[in-house]
Amino acid sequence: MTKSVAAPQAKGKSAEDKIFGANNRATALAEQLGADKVINGTVGSILDEDGNLVMLDVVQKAYKALTPKEIVAYAPIQGYPDYLEAVIDQCFGESRPEGYIRACATSGGSGVLHHVIHNYSEWGDDILTSDWHWGAYNSMCTDNGRHLREFELIGPDGKFNLESFKANVTDMVAKQYNTVIIINSPANNPTGFALSSEDWDHVLAFLKDVVNGKDKNIILVSDVAYLDYSGEKQECRKFFKKFGNLPSNILVVVAYTCSKGFTMYGQRMGAMICVTSSKDVADEFVAINQYTSRATWSNSNSAAMKAMVNICKDPKKVAELDAERAEYLELIKERADLFMKEAKECGLKYLPYLSGFFITIPMEGSQKVCDLMEKEHIFLVPLGKGIRLAVCSVSKKKIAGLAAKIKAAVEATGAKQ
């Protein structure tokens, strides 16, 4: 018998990460054959047209300017006050919602989700998200004895499936004290889908109604990891305004990260930002999440916070940042447009993509298709109901012709679209 000393609730946990696995194989093959011979569509980071990982110039300069103290001093557990201010400003832009807004530093967006699950749901609870979601949400729930439940994101009409959302929330509110809901929009990973302004109005009106007069709470997590590449700076932020003036038993937590917007992926820097109409709930938010930070990772990366602050306090640098982001937003759009155009031409279906790092090709039998593509040195991420293509990291040259190759592999393997 296999020996084990893990606690009962921790026994048997393991995960082969399909994304890192495919990426490792792609990288190894590229070293062997040359990078031009391999298409690696697995990486969730921006690569330029030559295949190099992009670190924004303004961010590189900010890192070079850091003092030893800024790099290695212990930061306060909640985060440096100027970082927390900068984060709130960067996140909301001109669409800062009304209410009590507070922030706590976290380890990227992942850290936000961990803290929300840990502090706002109970062992055994369901956590709701859409069927199209980032795989790590599952690990976060499983590791903490929660169960990830899915509503259907996109209805048969290609629009947000409000009915599926309502049915799931209604059922959860009936059963649980708190209902934690994670909505990754705009630029949903893995589809590029987003809720429209009207979708948000319907969602929020429904949420108000469903807990009205009840001793039940909704914790709405707005995961905006890809926000800065989802459209014009102020336009794509307008939905944030809707988070103001909600009843006190609806707490909005925005999962903000510097990973994408500042290309600081490996620095592990993010923040959880609350929006609430109740001062008590805001105070509690800081108290319990700061407590959990102390008990989990202690303080956060000082250098990353200081680099971010040094950019944000200087309007010239912010302008430089915005210009660089706009450039990469445009590049990703060109890649995505090219893929979608060719997909239409060859009759390959894809899910409604508006913006973001990924496009999803829906199908049954994605693993077989990905396996076959790998023989042609093309690496994509197989999902339960489709294939994820990272348009953030594949050059236009390599995108050209890719839709037809996927279409051929779908037909060769008998996968159903």
Binding flag, residue 39, a copy of itself (CB under 8 A): no
Q: How many angstroms separate the CA atoms of 128 and 181, rounded?
A: 5
Give me the least distance between CB of 64 and a copy of itself, in Å please: 8
DSSP letters of 388-408?
A: EEETTTS-HHHHTTHHHHHHH
Q: Which of 39, 88, 127, 303 binds a copy of itself (CB under 8 A)?
A: 303
Q: Which of 266, 384, 401, 414 binds a copy of itself (CB under 8 A)?
A: 266
Binding flag, residue 50, a copy of itself (CB under 8 A): no
326, 332 in Cβ contact below 8 A?
A: no
Which 176-195 positions form the footprint of a copy of itself (CB under 8 A)?
177-178
Q: How many angstroms separate the CA atoms of 244 and 358, rounded?
A: 30
Q: Write the binding mask 145 to 164 for a copy of itself: x where contact by CB under 8 A, - elsewhere.
A: --------------------
| Phi and psi torsions of 308, nearest 5° | -65, -45
Which 313-372 positions form the footprint of a copy of itself (CB under 8 A)?
none
Binding flag, residue 288, a copy of itself (CB under 8 A): yes
Give me the least distance between CB of 133 and a copy of itself, in Å please: 14
Binding flag, residue 278, a copy of itself (CB under 8 A): yes
> Which residue, 160 or 265, has its beta carbon nearer to a copy of itself?
265
Q: Which of 30, 77, 390, 399 binds a copy of itself (CB under 8 A)?
A: 77
> Which residue, 274 or 361, has its beta carbon nearer to a copy of itself?
274
Q: How many angstroms separate the CA atoms of 179 and 191, rounded?
A: 24
Give me the least distance between CB of 415 and a copy of itself, in Å please: 29
CB atoms within 10 A of CB 354: 17
> Which residue, 79 or 382, has its beta carbon nearer to a copy of itself?
79
Give me the least distance between CB of 403 and a copy of itself, in Å please: 27
Q: Residue count at the site for a copy of itself (CB under 8 A)?
A: 82
72, 297 in Cβ contact below 8 A?
A: no
Q: Which of 222, 263, 360, 413 binds a copy of itself (CB under 8 A)?
A: 263
Which 88-147 positions form the footprint of a copy of itself (CB under 8 A)?
107-108, 110-111, 114, 118-123, 125, 136, 139-140, 142-144
Give me the least distance between CB of 178 and a copy of itself, in Å please: 6
Give me the least distance between CB of 80 and a copy of itself, in Å please: 10
Among 119, 63, 80, 37, CA closest to 292:
119
User: What are the residues whose beta carbons fall under 8 Å from the beta carbon of 383, sequence distance 6 or more?
Assistant: 135, 190, 360, 366
> Which residue, 161 or 302, has its beta carbon nearer to a copy of itself?
302
Rounded to 5°, angle at Cα 403 from 397 and 407: 150
In angstroms, the first-to-last Cα distance of the chain is 43
The token duo for 246 is 């909600």
Reduced to 3 states (helix: H, G, I; strand: E, B; else coil), residue 112 is: helix
Which 201-260 positions form the footprint of a copy of itself (CB under 8 A)?
217, 219, 248-249, 251
> Which residue, 270 or 382, has its beta carbon nearer to a copy of itself?
270
> Which residue, 2 or 32, has its beta carbon nearer to a copy of itself?
2
Strands (DSSP E) contained in 224-320 are 250-257, 270-276
Which 3-22 positions form the footprint of a copy of itself (CB under 8 A)?
3-11, 13-15, 17, 20
**Distance, C-alpha 171 to centroid of its chain:** 26
261: burial class by Cβ within 10 Å (0-12, 13-18, 19+)? buried
Binding window for a copy of itself (CB under 8 A); candidates: 261-269, 346-354, 382-390, 400-408: 261-269
> Which residue, 136 or 404, has its beta carbon nearer to a copy of itself?
136
> Which residue, 142 or 245, has its beta carbon nearer to a copy of itself?
142
Cα torsion through 32, 33, 34, 35, rounded to 10: -90
Binding window for a copy of itself (CB under 8 A); candidates: 227-235, 284-292, 354-362, 406-414: 284-292
Strands (DSSP E) contained in 115-249 are 126-130, 147-151, 178-184, 217-223
User: What are the residues whose beta carbons fall under 8 Å from the beta carbon of 129, sequence distance 6 or more?
Assistant: 137, 148, 149, 150, 151, 181, 182, 183, 184
